[in-house]
Amino acid sequence: MSAPYTPAAPPTFPPASTAPSQPPPTEAVAQAPLQSYYRTLPPAQQPFPNAVPPFSSTGPTQPQAPPPVSPQSFPQAPPVSQPPFSTAQIPPGPTQLYGGPLPSTQPSFPRPPLPTSQPSAFPAGPPPTSTPSQLPGVMQPQLPVSQPSPYHSGPPLTSTGFPPQVGAPPRPPLAGMQGPPMASQGPPMASQGPPMASQGPPMASQGPPLTSQGPPMAQANHILPTQPGMPPGPINASLSGPPPQPGMQGYPPQQNGEHQCCYWVRGQAPPLVTTKFQVKDQGNASPRYIRCTAYNIPCNSDMAKQSQVPLAAVIKPLAPLPLDETPPYLLDHGESGPIRCNRCKAYMCPYMQFIEGGRRFQCGFCSCVTEVPPHYFQHLDHTGKRVDCYDRPELSMGSYEFTATVDYCKNNKFPQPPAFIFLIDVSYNAVKNEFKQENPDVESNIRVGFVTYNKVLHFYNVKASLAQPQMMVVSDVADMFVPLLDGFLVSVSESRVVIESLLDQIPEMFADTRETETVFGPVIQAGLEALKAADCAGKLFVFHSSLSIAEAPGKLKNREDKKLVGTDKEKSLFQSQVSFYNTLAKECVAQGCCVDLFLFPNQYVDVATLGVVPTSTGGSIYKYTYFQAPSDQERFLNDLRRDVQKQVGFDAVMRVRTSTGIRATDFFGSFYMSNTTDVELAGLDCDKTVTVEFRHDDKLSEETGALMQCAVLYTSCSGQRRLRIHNMAVNCCSQLADLYRNCETDTIINFFAKYAYRSVLSSPTKNVRDSLMNQCAQILACYRKNCASPSSAGQLILPECMKLLPVYLNCMLKSDVLQPGADVSLDDRAYLRQLVSTMDVAESHVFFYPRLLPLQKLDVESMTLPVAVRDSEERLSRGGVYLLENGLNIFLWVGVNAQQELLQNIFGTPAFSQIDPSMTSLPALDNPFSKRLREIIESVRLMVVKQEDKLELIFKHFLVEDKSNNGGASYVDFLCHMHKEIRQLLS
């Protein structure tokens, strides 16, 4: 939603904060009774408001930020004493202010609740310190505080959009949940004694002590592990502890989830995704919109190749903002449209330099000089800035929107408001699950239509003047057409009575069906044809349950063959079975027809093929394996409700422009590209990210830095054509130490995951894993060779910003896409692969390194969550109860000796033996503990796991620091292996 912009009374710009993204969903386990273990978290809610974010800024400090760029290249923001656009005071409160003017006094805009089945929003926070492992002579590596876990970031999002259950899309992290362990839990430092003589890991005869060093000019920060026998606990920030986290120069340490006030210095990494902060926009887009792998990029390609650090940005153009932050301002430049560079067509932004008294401007991207139109002319002040600089968002802010002129519309004609079409599978398999549809609460100017299908399609006339809906059947699925125009797409407010009558009748109409075959391709063709006939863009909500084996275009066969797993032919399982859906997806994008797919499978449905159209059109996939109405319908309705209500742009085109010296070369996400520069999305919603990789095509200058501008042209839900602009400036460096000082591990892991998950389409998974390990070893070896102080070869030296790179990389390598267990279905793997492609950094953070909370330490009175513990079986106490979630799944693990009072408060029984492991939700008990716990996991399909029960194997799958049953290495073994690889590269 955009705030209207009135030049008369310039609004203030509120700080932006990082909203948790939603974690990816997964599929169910093969056994129906066990339910699939891939589920999404609960609906939109922030259950842990006061949780301490993992890796709060209590980590080690980073070297000083590079000197600011000269004002000629990058106009500076006004002094804090003079906030642009308003004189509003900074609101009191513990939120951290991130880089820019204070929030405006503009009215807040209602935002849709977060998705339910998307990744959940547990607040992230580092797990407590860990005690040394039991291996003789080996100190268990501990995760440093200085970097948050990539699997968990940012404040929790509420979820209502992705399916929470098995295979459902990921949810935002649960508020209050915390991420990987702090630095104090990290690997033992070199100063702590002799190298770890590892008797366990086969990969290295010596387990290296871990030393985290800053570049030579900065003193290394050695974080000592806790003493053996000391209980894990949160770092007490009031003591003289470690300085702020690496990459966050100038950010004071954060304590207990409190938010600090900070201003963003260009070239320095923003607050971690696990940190709560407010954004002050002073010309750089909020990290909620753009996160980079490095904020100080190499000046030349040789240096970039030497370091092997990927140069990429994860862009979330319509990211939701916290309620206390103002959305981008909406600007109307009249019939002439926004001002642009004549050569590269970059839009007016803070990086344009006005010259010749304001009559011309020089483009910051290509240096071309362009005339300023007479109506846009303004005089310059003594510093060379326009005197109206702080009255115009496009001259002083990083993010803003323009209303687009008719020149930006198809066929030079303004678009119609979009339509929503619901296509419901009514085959035997779908109906027997008591599928019921809730009337979606959509905006009045969006028209809706309804189709049901099995082997044939049934269209419904729901015109307001009818007493009852009328059905029209199309049985010729080989040549699809829409049998009616008038009465198919209608206004909800006008036809509400007829629509509700139809939704009530659908389950009864098909209650006795014995039709087991369904079509799928013609269903999407029908929705596409309806949108073409109405000359509008829109979204298809397809509810599908089985493999499409009926005779029709796009017919599929069962190709589930686990014998191919681990062979060179494994990649074919991730590819589309037929080319029909690729062609269909291209047609959908051309019309602005986005497809959201809700799957309710009880067996193989070929998600790799069915997902082609949703993932090519910018849509979402929700998967509810073994759907059961009593336990799953609330989750499904929450997902559907959020999907209908969330902000979405239609018929979108995105282009990323860069300053001379670098260019965008590769793109990852759910979209279609007909050329090498334009990302085309039939739909772009507030949860979707597009990841862009950059490469050098010339040398960069330390004086001017590097610029990128993301421009997205889209149609809003009201039918208005808009341009959303996000600008980002980063520093350039000629020293490797500056590069390693300003990287963000969470974003690097997000990029590696997307790169690897796409690579499985063309390479064996073993080759993909080896390639990732090799690149990680090269990154760390380059640092050791060029930036670290001389030290013993037996020590493992890691950059402050990358202390957690090995643990997160190991978690990603053990994921079910790259190293599946025997019980992971092919559909689950395809589903996860497609989900991760659009995850933001906060979602991937918690997805790969789940949060594990000891509930026995839950403080009901203070409402704060306990500090998370490391994801390892040795952290589980037989007398405790633990909550584990990763955005898709949520488990409650109960130790055999759990306190009777705790069991009584949670389950209503004091006896471990009386707990029902098949329960999917907690009983509503009248005690504060029960109420608080149910708030945390409300409307989520819960899996209760009793210690030593058969379900414990599924739970242990998510203890990512341990060795996995399918061959994945433990964190200690992997660290030893990486050290061996680094030593080989250096020798």
DSSP string, 627-690: --HHHHHHHHHHHHHHHHHS-EEEEEEEEEEE-TTEEEEEEESS-B-SSSS-EEEEEEETT--E
Distance between CA atoms of residues 670 and 654, nearest Å: 12
Give the CA radius of gyration of the chain.
27
Per-residue tokens: 962: 């341990």
Domain 418-646 sits in CATH 3.40.50.410: yes
One-letter amino acid of 796: L
Distance between CA atoms of residues 311 and 874, nearest Å: 37
Distance between CA atoms of residues 609 and 582, nearest Å: 9
H or E segment to which residue 3 belongs: strand 3-4
Name the region of 693 (left: φ>0; alpha: ψ -120 to 50; beta: rest): beta
DSSP, collapsed to helix, strand or coil, labels residue 940 as: coil
Contact 614, 598 (CB under 8 A): no
Helix axes 745-759, 765-786, angle to 10 degrees: 150
Give pLDDT, residue 210.
60
Distance between CA atoms of residues 252 and 271, nearest Å: 11
213 forms beta bridges with 799
| 79: Cβ contacts below 8 Å, ≥ 6 apart | none
Distance between CA atoms of residues 145 and 313, nearest Å: 24
Whole-number Cα distances in Å, 923 to 690, 912, 916, 931, 942: 41, 15, 11, 10, 12
Per-residue tokens: 4: 């209207």
664 forms beta bridges with 694
DSSP 416-457: PPPEEEEEEE-SHHHHTTT---PPP---TTSEEEEEEESSSE
pLDDT averaged over 10-residue windows placed end to end, the chain, 987 residues: 44 37 37 44 37 34 37 36 34 40 35 38 40 34 35 31 38 46 39 35 43 41 28 27 30 38 66 86 92 96 96 97 90 93 96 96 96 96 94 95 92 90 81 42 72 93 93 90 90 91 90 86 96 94 94 93 88 93 96 96 95 96 89 87 92 96 96 95 96 96 95 93 96 95 96 97 94 97 93 90 96 94 90 95 95 90 84 95 92 95 94 91 91 83 90 92 91 95 93
Pairing verdict, β 490-491 and 447-453: antiparallel
The number of angstroms, rounded, from the C-alpha of 948 to the middle of its chain's C-alpha atoms is: 34
Handedness of CA 194, 200, 205, 211 (dihedral sign): negative
Per-residue tokens: 453: 């299908």
Q: What is the largest CA-CA distance in the chain?
A: 85
| 242: Cβ contacts below 8 Å, ≥ 6 apart | 58, 59, 60, 61, 145, 146, 183, 184, 221, 223, 235, 253
DSSP, collapsed to helix, strand or coil, labels residue 302 as: helix
DSSP, collapsed to helix, strand or coil, labels residue 401 as: strand
Distance between CA atoms of residues 66 and 849, nearest Å: 32
Distance between CA atoms of residues 844 and 761, nearest Å: 20
> Taking the CB of residue 636, how many other CB atoms lie within 10 A of it?
26
**Which residue is it, tokens 């990512």?**
960
Give the sheet arrangement for strand 690-696, strand by strand.
Answer: 290-292, 312-315, 690-696, 662-668
Distance between CA atoms of residues 25 and 172, nearest Å: 11
Per-residue tokens: 156: 């929790």
| 713: Cβ contacts below 8 Å, ≥ 6 apart | 404, 408, 652, 653, 654, 721, 722, 723
Distance between CA atoms of residues 204 and 230, nearest Å: 29
| 504: Cβ contacts below 8 Å, ≥ 6 apart | none
Pairing verdict, β 419-425 and 447-453: parallel
Which DSSP state fits 694? E
Residue 446 phi/psi, 5-degree rounding, is -95, 125
DSSP, collapsed to helix, strand or coil, labels residue 936 as: helix
**Which residue is it, tokens 């797990």?**
127
The number of angstroms, rounded, from the C-alpha of 898 to the middle of its chain's C-alpha atoms is: 35
Distance between CA atoms of residues 343 and 366, nearest Å: 8
Name the region of 267 (left: φ>0; alpha: ψ -120 to 50; beta: rest): left
Distance between CA atoms of residues 961 and 958, nearest Å: 9
Q: In CATH, what number does 259-335+392-416+647-734 get?
A: 2.60.40.1670
DSSP 135-185: STT-PPP-B-TTS--TT--SSPPP--SS--STTPPPBPPPTT---S--TTB
Give pLDDT, residue 440.
43
**Which residue is it, tokens 């093929």?**
609
Contact 209, 225 (CB under 8 A): no
Contact 749, 150 (CB under 8 A): yes
Give pLDDT, residue 718.
85
Give pLDDT, residue 967.
85
Residue 931 phi/psi, 5-degree rounding, is -65, -45
Contact 658, 728 (CB under 8 A): no
The number of angstroms, rounded, from the C-alpha of 508 to the middle of its chain's C-alpha atoms is: 40
DSSP, collapsed to helix, strand or coil, labels residue 969 as: coil
298 forms beta bridges with 733
pTM value is 0.79
Distance between CA atoms of residues 312 and 775, nearest Å: 15
Contact 183, 212 (CB under 8 A): yes
Residues of the chain with CATH 2.60.40.1670: 259-335+392-416+647-734
**Which residue is it, tokens 């799958």?**
957
Per DSSP, the chain holds a count of helices (H) and strands (E) of: 19, 31
Distance between CA atoms of residues 679 and 655, nearest Å: 6
Residues in the chain: 987
Residue 750 phi/psi, 5-degree rounding, is -60, -45
**Which residue is it, tokens 């362990």?**
181
Whose CA is closest to 17, among 99, 120, 112?
99
Give pLDDT, residue 255.
33
Distance between CA atoms of residues 1 and 648, nearest Å: 9
Whose CA is closest to 561, among 626, 623, 608, 622?
608
